[in-house]
Amino acid sequence: MMSKEKKIEVIEKVKENGVRFLRLQFTDVTGVLKNVAIPVSQLEKTLDGELMFDGSSIEGFARIEESDMFLIPDPDTFVVFPWRPATGGVARMICDVYTPEPNKAPFIGDPRSNLKRIVKEAHEMGFVMNAGPECEFFLFTVDEQGHPVVATQDEAGYFDLAPVDLGEDARRDMVCTLEDMGFEIEASHHEVAPGQHEIDFKYGPALRVADDIVTFKLVVRTIAQRHGLHATFMAKPIAGINGSGMHTHQSLSSLDGKNLFYDPSAPHGLSDLARWYMGGIMSHARALTAITNPTVNSYKRLVPGYEAPVYVAWSEANRSCLVRVPAKRGASTRIEVRHPDPMCNSYLALSVMLAAGLDGIKNKIEPPAPVDANIYHMSAADRAKLGIPSLPGSLPEALEALSQDEVIKNALGPHIYKKFVAAKVAEFERYNTDVHPWEIAEYLKSF
């Protein structure tokens, strides 16, 4: 299970850093981070893979009768949280979820184990997926009760006017904290919308990046709170201004680390593999959108005019397309998939994108010709002539597309697929039966 050396290494780090509590982390099907906190006295037992928890209370996990599950920590994810020095250290490890005895095995409903399965499939084909996400988020102030206030005008106390810019200061603190935790930050900047920020970290192998995204969100929210702010990864918190995306750069390398997307002799410098991978992403785009853009709110971001993609097309420069191929070639040759948003479960999002790309390679799916015009400005007839489909316009449409795509369903496995769809259908039902402020404003006085 876990090598003895790794185990000793973790125990040493715990002692060295005065760690008193460990948080064992995993995500549920919808991508919400779950925590089991254990005192250090339970460390050895946990490292031996003997820690049980009740899986029946987790969204999309098991039924009551099979509720006892194991948490198997991944020692490579051990990190001490930098922000609690005064009260004794807290560290975390990300875990895989295992089914109970007698046949203790990776649980098929665990998103992280699922990504491992797809990564292994790629490995067997001779590929390693590298991914680099660009997470955007908003910083809002909080009111007297600590609840976030969705206001972006300076008059509304968005950022108090003062010698120091609150948002910049918080972001700098986030970057420092992430660096303390071993992240390599490539860029951090203010985004298009007021109060919107972006922090990009270095690309890496799919599993590590999926872990990093989870950690990243936790750090950003924690540090924001320490600055009297609330960080949200909601895709479209305010109508009429840009939403938050999680553009995901991706490429395949060989097992010895050579970029396989680059071919200097081919058109655009893209290898056959790169084209087919892109072809796979594009042909499964409508189905995998249900996973990469998993909420009612996600589809309010995927509308024309705010740099979010709406149509299934690719280009080298045009940012209205689903896939952009950044100008860099050589070892940096990659494609950028622009529609995911940070509300997604990072493990599942990378699972479905990788599986779609691999399917493109297996079936040599050619992508259509690039579209360099701004598709926002095209008419429906022009788009039909060029054969440019739209992304799903709503959560139900995306779920419908997902239900018809066996490749993406396989990339989730039957358990996750079923639980995911059930959770999302219920979510849409709640949305649909609620009466929203817009309806009150629109109809209450007129009728």
Distance, in Å, from the CA atom of 308 to the CA atom of 311, rounded to the nearest integer, reads 9
Q: Is 44 tagged catalytic?
A: no
Among 54, 66, 160, 406, contact with another protein (rule: CB under 8 A):
160
Q: Is 85 in the site for another protein (CB under 8 A)?
A: yes
- For the four alpha carbons of 290, 183, 123 and 113, in that order, the dihedral sign comes to negative
SS3 22: strand
Q: Is 227 tagged catalytic?
A: no
| Residue from 171, 197, 286, 338 carrying the catalytic annotation | 338
Helix (H) or strand (E) holding 130: strand 127-142
Footprint on residues 353-372 left by another protein (CB under 8 A): none
Q: Is 191 tagged catalytic?
A: yes
Stretch that binds another protein, among 41-49, 113-121, 156-164, 190-198 (CB under 8 A): 156-164
Q: Is 163 in the site for another protein (CB under 8 A)?
A: yes
Q: Which is nearer to another protein, 142 or 386 (CB)?
A: 142
Q: Which is nearer to another protein, 53 or 137 (CB)?
A: 137
Q: Is 239 in the site for another protein (CB under 8 A)?
A: no
Residue 437 tokens, joined: 């402020």
Q: How many residues bind another protein (CB under 8 A)?
A: 24
- What's the closest the beta carbon of residue 196 comes to another protein, in angstroms? 18
Q: Which is nearer to another protein, 66 or 160 (CB)?
A: 160
Distance, in Å, from the CA atom of 280 to the CA atom of 179, rounded to the nearest integer, reads 35
Burial class (CB in 10 A: 0-12, 13-18, 19+), 440: exposed
Q: Is 20 tagged catalytic?
A: no
Q: Is 146 in the site for another protein (CB under 8 A)?
A: yes
Among 101, 102, 124, 162, contact with another protein (rule: CB under 8 A):
162
In 3D space, the residue among 245, 353, 348, 384 whose CA is nearest the CA of residue 303 turns out to be 245
Q: Is 215 in the site for another protein (CB under 8 A)?
A: no
Distance, in Å, from the CA atom of 28 to the CA atom of 369, rounded to the nearest integer, reads 39
| Residue from 165, 191, 316, 427 carrying the catalytic annotation | 191
For residue 253, list its beta bridge partners: 128, 259
Q: Is 9 tagged catalytic?
A: no
| Residue from 92, 112, 230, 247 carrying the catalytic annotation | 247
Distance, in Å, from the CA atom of 290 to the CA atom of 424, rounded to the nearest integer, reads 9
Distance, in Å, from the CA atom of 327 to the CA atom of 349, rounded to the nearest integer, reads 24
Among 38, 142, 151, 218, contact with another protein (rule: CB under 8 A):
142
In 3D space, the residue among 40, 69, 32, 36 whose CA is nearest the CA of residue 54 turns out to be 69
Q: Is 144 in the site for another protein (CB under 8 A)?
A: yes
Q: Is 307 tagged catalytic?
A: no
Distance, in Å, from the CA atom of 304 to the CA atom of 361, rounded to the nearest integer, reads 30
Contact 325, 373 (CB under 8 A): no
| Residue from 28, 198, 200, 211 carrying the catalytic annotation | 198
Distance, in Å, from the CA atom of 135 to the CA atom of 342, rounded to the nearest integer, reads 6
Q: Is 200 tagged catalytic?
A: no
Among 3, 41, 103, 145, contact with another protein (rule: CB under 8 A):
145
Among 126, 228, 305, 414, contact with another protein (rule: CB under 8 A):
228
Q: Is 87 in the site for another protein (CB under 8 A)?
A: yes
Q: Is 406 tagged catalytic?
A: no
Among 74, 121, 169, 307, contact with another protein (rule: CB under 8 A):
169
Alpha-carbon dihedral of residues 422, 427, 429, 430, nearest 10 degrees? Answer: 140
Burial class (CB in 10 A: 0-12, 13-18, 19+), 110: buried
Q: Which is nearer to another protein, 165 or 316 (CB)?
A: 165
- Please give the residue ranges that form the binding site for another protein (CB under 8 A): 83-87, 141-146, 160, 162-166, 169-170, 173, 226-229
Catalytic residues: 54, 134, 136, 191, 198, 247, 319, 336, 338
